[in-house]
């Protein structure tokens, strides 16, 4: 698992997680509460691990250039 989430991407993921958690608390239907809560958890986990499997599948990295 090679880290592919940069610092700006990490901040965006934490902000999105917060938004998803707020939506999960506000929405009426139980199914949508779970959908938004799970999206929030996924955003937090990928930010903490510095790894996004979707970015990896497409070969994308937001970490920038690494020194060799």
- Tens digit of each residue's pLDDT (9 = 90 or more) over 34-64: 999 999 999 999 999 999 999 999 999 999 8
Q: Which residue ranges make up each domain of the chain?
A: 7-52
Ramachandran area for residue 27 (φ above 0: left; ψ -120 to 50: alpha; else beta):
beta
Contact 55, 5 (CB under 8 A): yes
Q: What is the pTM of this model?
A: 0.87
Question: Looking at the chain, how many residues does it have?
Answer: 68
Other beta carbons less than 10 A from residue 47's beta carbon: 20
Contact 24, 33 (CB under 8 A): yes
- Tens digit of each residue's pLDDT (9 = 90 or more) over 5-23: 999 999 999 999 999 999 9
């Amino acid at each position: 698992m090679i880290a592919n989430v940069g610092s700006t991407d990490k901040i965006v993921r934490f902000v999105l997680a917060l938004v998803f958690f707020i939506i999960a608390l506000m929405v009426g239907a139980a199914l949508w509460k779970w959908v938004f809560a799970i999206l929030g958890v996924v955003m937090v986990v990928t930010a903490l691990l510095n790894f996004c499997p979707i970015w990896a599948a497409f070969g994308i990295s937001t970490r920038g250039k690494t020194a060799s």
